[in-house]
Amino acid sequence: MSAAPHVVVRAATRTHRAPGGRVVTALAALDLDVPRGAFLAVAGASGCGKTTLLALLGALDRPTQGSVRIDGVETRDASDAALVRVRRRVGFVFQHAPVLRGVPLWENVAYPLVPLGVPARTRRARGAELLARVGLGDRADDAPEGLSGGELQRVGVARALVGDPALVLADEPTSQLDADAAGAVLELLRGIHAEGRTIVVASHQPEVLGVAGSVLRLGAATPAATA
């Protein structure tokens, strides 16, 4: 494990223009270092900027001011192609577990491998392997339409791992789940962390915060923080 932090955030600010033209600050002047192998939870009330921060950490968005450096790549100035390369090294578990409808689960999991030219047979094997890991091995050929919220989130976790990322980001992964399903997802995240991956989870749920090694609390005033 290298001593250099996985992600370095300096004075990162993200503003949006609201429909009326008003400028809304979603995240203000945040400083953060995410060391390699950390399990960081980002906590705070709704609207405090958790999702915005994760989007910045996953190169899904760029800061309007300040700097976000992921594995040495400064995302604010990076080209689209560079951001795509960064995203391929990051696993992202989304809040609502979005999937491609009508596409078998194994294919949903392995879809990130398509632009890499990975052959279909290899993708299928990889998708099935990861589904087995999250307890859905027998449903690889099913369409996602019949799955429960907890199962869909497990598919989301499997998909986040398909590129074998060193950094996994999870945005409110258990907020829509019942206690059992949430426990299963948390167990998965713990297992992933045990493999040496860096985990950043946004959540306001105590169970999630209890699993994390450190907690970053974002408040209404969006304080500068380090994990």
Partner 1 sequence: MSDGARGPLARLAALAWSGVAAARLAPLRSLVTVACVAAGLVPYLAALGISRGLRDDAEAALAAAADLHVTGLRFGRFAPLPRAVCAEIEALPGVLSATPRVVGELSVGDDGLPVVVIGLPDGAAPAGLALARGRLPRSGGPLELVLGAALAERLHTDVGAYLPPFYHASTGERVAQVVGVLPADAPLWSAHVVLTSLDAACEMFDQRGLVTDVLVRVRPGYESEAKAALVRLPPPAPDDPHGPLRLRVVTRPELLAYLPRGVLAKEGAFGVHFLLAFALGIPLVLVASGLGLAERRRDAGLLRALGWGADDLLVRNLAESTLLCVAGAAIALLVAHVWLGLCGGAGIARVFVADADPSVALPYRLEPEAALVGCAVAFAVVMTGTLWSSWRAVSAPPREAMR
Does 77 help bind partner 1 (rule: CB under 8 A)? no
Distance, CA of 202 to CA of 118 (rounded, Å): 31
Q: Please say whether the beta carbons of 123 and 102 come within 8 A.
A: no
By CB under 8 A, tell whether 100 contacts partner 1: yes
Of 44 and 165, the one with the shorter C-beta distance to partner 1 is: 165
State yes or no: residue 144 binds partner 1 (CB under 8 A): no
Burial class (CB in 10 A: 0-12, 13-18, 19+), 225: middle
Beta carbons of 92 and 204 less than 8 angstroms apart: no
Choose the binding region for partner 1 from 35-43, 65-73, 159-167, 217-225 (rule: CB under 8 A): 159-167
Q: Are 92 and 169 spatial neighbours (Cβ–Cβ below 8 Å)?
A: yes
Looking at the Cβ atoms of 86 and 215, the one nearer to partner 1 is 86
Binds partner 1 (CB under 8 A): choice among 94, 150, 154, 200: 94
Interatomic CA distance for residues 120 and 71, integer angstroms? 30
Query: Which span (133-141, 160-168, 183-191, 219-227) binds partner 1, by CB under 8 A?
Result: 160-168
In one-letter notation, the amino acid at residue 113 is: L
Size of the site for partner 1 (CB under 8 A): 33
Q: Give, as ranges, the residues between 162 and 181 that touch partner 1 (CB under 8 A).
A: 162-164
Helix (H, G, I), strand (E, B) or coil at 90: strand
Does position 17 bind partner 1 by CB under 8 A? no
Give the CA distances from residue 207 to residues 62, 132, 173, in Å, rounded to whole numbers and listed in that order: 30, 25, 12
Interatomic CA distance for residues 120 and 100, integer angstroms: 17
172 vs 74: CA distance, rounded Å: 25
**Which of 60, 147, 199, 208 is the binder for partner 1 (CB under 8 A)?**
60
Please report whether residue 120 would count as binding partner 1 according to CB under 8 A.
yes
The answer to the question of residue 157 lying near partner 1 (CB under 8 A) is no
Q: 7-17 and 167-171 as β-strands: parallel, antiparallel, unpaired?
A: unpaired
Question: Nearest approach, Cβ of 19 to partner 1 (angstroms)?
Answer: 13
> Stretches 2-10, 36-44, 157-165, 183-191: which one binds partner 1 (CB under 8 A)?
157-165
Per CB under 8 A, does 80 bind partner 1? yes
Q: Which residues bind partner 1 (CB under 8 A)?
A: 55, 58, 60-61, 80-81, 84, 87-88, 92, 94, 98, 100-103, 111-120, 122-123, 126, 159, 162-164
